Chain A
């Protein structure tokens, strides 16, 4: 049953990993604007259709 120590530490490490991911996401401003990305996401496809010259595409994300 001492395997429980390994299991526990793994589960806590995973939990903490996600927790850190959450903190960095908030810190980088991901939660500041929750609307625009949902619209922006839909543009890229239309852009490619409209623009046969992908070379101009310099938009950075």
Chain B
């Protein structure tokens, strides 16, 4: 009877409930010990030297990867196959430290048929090259799983060929930077020593070289601005790219005309610099979280293959897309039901929390209908498919056109609002000053007209938003709030209604609280209860075990788990039964909450009632939010928690229960037509429609590496109570942008003075343009960092 010691596992770092000693090291389970054994046999213990306790517990995978022996599935998963060598890229969520990189890149020591393996840490993928004659993809996956690095293979991987990485922005940036540098060198002599003998001699050569360098900048690097301006004009929209494109075009044409007729040296330096800075802003804004995906649909949640039982009773793995109506399928414990069907055999206990928002799993009898997306949680079942994957109840949600719409289309950014007026003002200044010069000195009129358009090119305005939002994206990312792109921050600042999902969003998945009512348990009964729960892996047992006080470990004389009913155990002369009301022998009372009943020695004692455990700081957050926003709870669950929530949340909060996925979507749509700017916060597949329909959809995630539905931002669950601060920071970002607009207008006015008076020399443009851009970058970076510091302090 040892007191439980708090030692942590040498392999995974978890607290050891039962200690296993091996090689002077302690392990929490046999799985961890086995991984250690594999490593030590192969001289790979360096794994533990790089980082302390870097591993994870290997999971039971018996039969799970049988589908990998199928030729057509291997074809889809490998990116290269010449008969001898295959290359496959696998996504491994557990990759998290340098030890992981080291061990995964030394796979060849564990299996010599693996020729090389390369980790991409950012994407958490491993690219394995192996000899396909002696080693199969299944072997590789099994090896990875056996050392605790189980790859995650989902229906999303079901696409052929390599995905093309879009690197065009880097190319464009490279070209613009290259041209900018060289043009600067070539134009430098003419800035100061005008009229010098040798300069006169060679200036034509220099100028034509500059012209040559600027060609790819205008026609390749700057092409996007012309395309975007054209698109904007066609849809009657004066976006920021219109004055930019105009500026680039005028710069290029005037410079070409100048060198053609030997009028001057042109503005090639300003032209290339302008494009370079603009692209730099684009590049900076393009912060991507390679390990996160904001575009996931049900495909990344669904398995790629499932076991089919054919008419002779043989089990064969088949692709999920190949499932036909009437197929008989075998679903193992912890596997996902891929299609709607009817339960044939076995005890089904389906966890629908991700699909419907119901917090507790439901039991099904044979003959009952099962819906796709549920997870089987007890034993093996057999089912018959009645629909194909795409036609299932859940997956049909994705045929709603809200998923094909682009949210940014209907949103006018602050920059574009400004640019509309800006363009009009600049054009009128250009026309007025040109008319003025036509009367005063007609030879200068064209000069002034182009100069105004050149100097008014809103480089600084165009850079304000990218650098402010880009920097804020990085700050948010450090605080575990991962935002898809800059426009999301802008939309977040404009919302007026916040809608929350209940299960998994405002409640936490990890723990719930339980209340006991009934006859008080004696200390020996409590001891027995705790020890009985220890042996059970049922989620409710685990939860209850964690809630109960610590007790000594005793060895049970008898222990039995009845699937779907409960557990019973004896110690000395005491007998205990824990489980459902009917199992324990209590009267079934119809309550909406989950209960666990207990009886000892065939005498009913009482029950534990589980309540959702709400996230820390929930009521505080709601009380802060209620002053500025309309708050709604939209839950797929029943009304069991109604009273509880009413007490917890401000009275203005609307509580709506029993919402199906498409109900949620319609609810948001309806309120949007009434002018609401909706922020939806959800977590499961059932919120996917609502997240897509809302102006900003944030997915709450306990672990950002596991699945979260398509959304605009992912918020780590631990930062849930900071939500209001993130919204406030977004609002501050808008203020920063407005101030930097003011700053760039000042530069524009200075520049316009030179332009209108007809004395814009290339050197003035070459100084003013980079100066305004750089000072905007400095200003926005410092300002956002101040906002960020405030944010991380609290």
User: Which A residues form the contact surface with B (CB < 8 A)?
Assistant: 1, 4-5, 8, 12, 15, 19, 22-23, 26-27, 29, 31-36, 39-40, 42-43, 46-47, 50-51, 56, 58-60
Answer whether A33 and B174 are a contact pair too, CB < 8 Å, given A15-B182, A40-B105.
Answer: no
Q: Are B43 and A15 in touch, CB under 8 angstroms?
A: no
**CB nearest to B181 among chain A residues:** A15
Q: Are B198 and A15 in touch, CB under 8 angstroms?
A: no
CA distance A33 to B109 in the complex (A): 24
Q: Are B43 and A33 in touch, CB under 8 angstroms?
A: no
| Chain B 162-175 interface mask (CB, 8 Å, partner A; 1/0) | 00010100110011
Answer whether A26 and B170 are a contact pair too, CB < 8 Å, given A15-B178, A47-B46, A50-B43.
Answer: yes
Q: Are B121 and A39 in touch, CB under 8 angstroms?
A: yes
Q: Distance in Å from the Cβ of A31 to the closest Cβ of chain B?
A: 6
Cross-interface CB contact of B101 among A4, A34, A39, A51, cutoff 8 Å: A39
Q: Are B167 and A36 in touch, CB under 8 angstroms?
A: no
Q: Are A39 and B202 in touch, CB under 8 angstroms?
A: no
CA distance A19 to B177 in the complex (A): 10
**CB nearest to A5 among chain B residues:** B205
Q: Distance in Å from the Cβ of A42 to the closest Cβ of chain B?
A: 8
Q: Distance in Å from the Cβ of B326 to the closest Cβ of chain A?
A: 45
CA distance A59 to B120 in the complex (A): 16
Answer whether A19 and B174 are a contact pair too, CB < 8 Å, given A31-B167, A56-B109.
Answer: yes
Give the contacts of B83-130 with A (CB-CB under 8 A). Answer: 98, 101-102, 105-106, 108-109, 115-116, 118-123
CA distance A56 to B119 in the complex (A): 20
Which of A1, A34, A39 gathers the greatest number of chain B CB atoms within 10 Å?
A: A39
Complex contacts, A47 vs chain B, CB 8 Å: 46
Q: Are B115 and A36 in touch, CB under 8 angstroms?
A: no
21 A-B residue pairs with Cβ-Cβ distance under 8 Å, sorted by A, are A1-B198, A1-B201, A12-B209, A15-B178, A15-B182, A22-B174, A26-B170, A31-B167, A32-B120, A32-B167, A33-B120, A33-B121, A33-B123, A35-B121, A39-B121, A40-B105, A40-B119, A56-B109, A58-B108, A59-B106, A59-B116
Q: Does more than half of chain A's interface fall in helix, strand or loop, or is it mixed? A: helix
Complex contacts, B209 vs chain A, CB 8 Å: 8, 12
Complex contacts, A31 vs chain B, CB 8 Å: 167, 170
Complex contacts, B43 vs chain A, CB 8 Å: 50-51
User: Which B residues form the contact surface with A (CB < 8 A)?
Assistant: 43, 46, 49-50, 98, 101-102, 105-106, 108-109, 115-116, 118-123, 165, 167, 170-171, 174-175, 178, 182, 198, 201-202, 205, 209
**CB nearest to A19 among chain B residues:** B178
Q: Are B108 and A33 in touch, CB under 8 angstroms?
A: no
CA distance A27 to B174 in the complex (A): 12
Complex contacts, A33 vs chain B, CB 8 Å: 120-123
Complex contacts, B106 vs chain A, CB 8 Å: 59
Complex contacts, A1 vs chain B, CB 8 Å: 198, 201-202
Cross-interface CB contact of A26 among B98, B105, B171, cutoff 8 Å: B171
Q: Are A46 and B46 in touch, CB under 8 angstroms?
A: yes
Q: Are B105 and A59 in touch, CB under 8 angstroms?
A: yes
Cross-interface CB contact of A59 among B101, B108, B119, cutoff 8 Å: B108
CA distance A61 to B559 in the complex (A): 55
CA distance A31 to B169 in the complex (A): 12
Cross-interface CB contact of A36 among B46, B121, B198, B205, cutoff 8 Å: B121
Q: Are A8 and B121 in touch, CB under 8 angstroms?
A: no
Complex contacts, B121 vs chain A, CB 8 Å: 33, 35-36, 39
Cross-interface CB contact of B115 among A8, A19, A60, cutoff 8 Å: A60
Q: Distance in Å from the Cβ of B217 to the closest Cβ of chain A?
A: 13
Which of A5, A51, A59 gathers the greatest number of chain B CB atoms within 10 Å?
A: A59
Q: Are A8 and B182 in touch, CB under 8 angstroms?
A: no
Complex contacts, A40 vs chain B, CB 8 Å: 101, 105, 119
Q: Distance in Å from the Cβ of B644 to the closest Cβ of chain A?
A: 45
Q: Are A35 and B171 in touch, CB under 8 angstroms?
A: no
**CB nearest to B46 among chain A residues:** A50
CA distance A31 to B283 in the complex (A): 13
Complex contacts, A36 vs chain B, CB 8 Å: 101, 118-122
Answer whether A32 and B174 are a contact pair too, CB < 8 Å, given A1-B201, A12-B209, A59-B106.
Answer: no
Closest 10 CB pairs of A and B: A36-B121, A33-B120, A50-B46, A39-B98, A35-B121, A19-B178, A60-B116, A26-B170, A22-B174, A35-B122
Q: Are B122 and A43 in touch, CB under 8 angstroms?
A: no
Complex contacts, B116 vs chain A, CB 8 Å: 59-60
CA distance A50 to B492 in the complex (A): 52
Complex contacts, A26 vs chain B, CB 8 Å: 167, 170-171, 174
CA distance A35 to B98 in the complex (A): 11
**Further contacts, 6 of them, CB under 8 A, given A27-B167, A46-B50:** A4-B202, A31-B170, A36-B101, A36-B122, A51-B43, A56-B109
Answer whether A23 and B171 are a contact pair too, CB < 8 Å, given A12-B209, A35-B122.
Answer: yes
Q: Distance in Å from the Cβ of B165 to the closest Cβ of chain A?
A: 6
Complex contacts, A46 vs chain B, CB 8 Å: 46, 49-50
**CB nearest to B212 among chain A residues:** A12
Complex contacts, B119 vs chain A, CB 8 Å: 36, 40
Complex contacts, A58 vs chain B, CB 8 Å: 108, 115
CA distance A43 to B99 in the complex (A): 10
CA distance A39 to B98 in the complex (A): 7
CA distance A27 to B98 in the complex (A): 26
CA distance A5 to B182 in the complex (A): 16
Complex contacts, B102 vs chain A, CB 8 Å: 43
**CB nearest to B114 among chain A residues:** A58
CA distance A31 to B174 in the complex (A): 12
CA distance A28 to B209 in the complex (A): 30
Complex contacts, A34 vs chain B, CB 8 Å: 122
CA distance A18 to B182 in the complex (A): 12
CA distance A39 to B170 in the complex (A): 24
Q: Are A23 and B174 in touch, CB under 8 angstroms?
A: yes
**CB nearest to A33 among chain B residues:** B120
CA distance A24 to B121 in the complex (A): 22
CA distance A51 to B120 in the complex (A): 24
Q: Distance in Å from the Cβ of B455 to the closest Cβ of chain A?
A: 29
**CB nearest to B198 among chain A residues:** A1
CA distance A60 to B109 in the complex (A): 13
Complex contacts, B205 vs chain A, CB 8 Å: 5, 8
**CB nearest to B109 among chain A residues:** A56
CA distance A31 to B182 in the complex (A): 23
**CB nearest to A40 among chain B residues:** B101
Complex contacts, B175 vs chain A, CB 8 Å: 19
Complex contacts, B108 vs chain A, CB 8 Å: 58-59
